[in-house]
């Protein structure tokens, strides 16, 4: 699924995260992008095994993975470019809707479901859902298969220190209200993602995450 050359390119980018270097390695960048496009198509082809809503939507492969350049407000780390790429399987927009993802980063690969960089409106909808149905979320998190697949339960890439205005500090959902997007993740090795049979494992990861997606859609 993930080509060795893609991992090599991402490793090199991590060591040379500058525009001049990337401009000089456009061929390798374009090859990696073709790999991501192929992965997005494969996830869509297998979607009927974990979520029919994904299988039924028209695929837009080039819009199904994060771009290398980091917008200033979304930047992680000091580099201009992402050294880890998310490939999405969504029924909508990855900034607006919960969906499935595969994170590709040398030594830090994982897969799961979530809405990690929501728009302002999507974040508001997410928080409203957290407050309106805490029991439903607790049922998802408490499922034995979910706990086995996602031992860290719900995670976020960014959090704030206090509960946002308009919500109560003692709300049962308070820990999640502080998250600027959330989801679940299952770690995968680079070798697993270079194996031709990895889709069977990814389908199982996504199938186990599907109740979380349904809860927020």
When pLDDT is cut at 50, 70 and 90, the band that residue 63 belongs to is confident
When pLDDT is cut at 50, 70 and 90, the band that residue 74 belongs to is low
pLDDT of 76 strictly over 90: no
pLDDT of 73 strictly over 80: no
Q: Tell me which range, 54-63, 78-87, 137-146, is most confidently predicted by mean pLDDT.
A: 137-146
Cβ contact 10:194 at 8 Å = no
pTM: 0.93
Structure confidence at residue 68 (pLDDT): 87
d(CA 13, CA 10) in angstroms, rounded, equals 5
When pLDDT is cut at 50, 70 and 90, the band that residue 82 belongs to is confident
Contacts of 43-46 with C-beta under 8 Å, sequence gap 24+, read 43/87, 43/89, 43/100, 43/102, 43/202, 44/89, 46/199, 46/202, 46/203
Name the residue among 106, 95, 88, 113 with its Cα closest to residue 37. Answer: 88
């Amino acid at each position: 699924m993930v080509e060795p050359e893609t991992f090599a390119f991402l490793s090199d980018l991590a060591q040379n995260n500058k525009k001049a270097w990337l401009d000089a390695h456009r061929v390798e960048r374009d090859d990696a992008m073709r790999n991501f496009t192929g992965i997005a198509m494969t996830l869509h082809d297998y979607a009927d095994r974990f979520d029919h809503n994904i299988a039924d939507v028209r695929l837009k492969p080039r819009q199904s993975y994060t771009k290398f350049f980091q917008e200033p407000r979304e930047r992680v780390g000091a580099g201009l470019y992402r050294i880890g790429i998310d490939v999405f399987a969504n029924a909508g927009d990855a900034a607006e809707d919960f969906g499935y993802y595969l994170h590709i980063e040398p030594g830090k690969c994982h897969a799961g479901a979530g809405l990690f960089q929501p728009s302002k409106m999507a974040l508001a909808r997410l928080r409203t859902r957290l407050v309106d149905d805490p029991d439903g979320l607790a049922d998802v998190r408490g499922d034995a298969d979910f706990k086995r697949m996602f031992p860290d339960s719900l995670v976020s890439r960014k959090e704030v220190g206090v509960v946002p205005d308009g919500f109560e500090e003692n709300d049962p959902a308070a820990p999640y209200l502080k998250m600027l997007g959330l989801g679940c993740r299952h770690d995968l090795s680079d070798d697993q993602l270079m194996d031709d049979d990895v889709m069977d494992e990814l389908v199982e990861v996504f199938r186990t995450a599907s109740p979380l997606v349904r809860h927020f859609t």
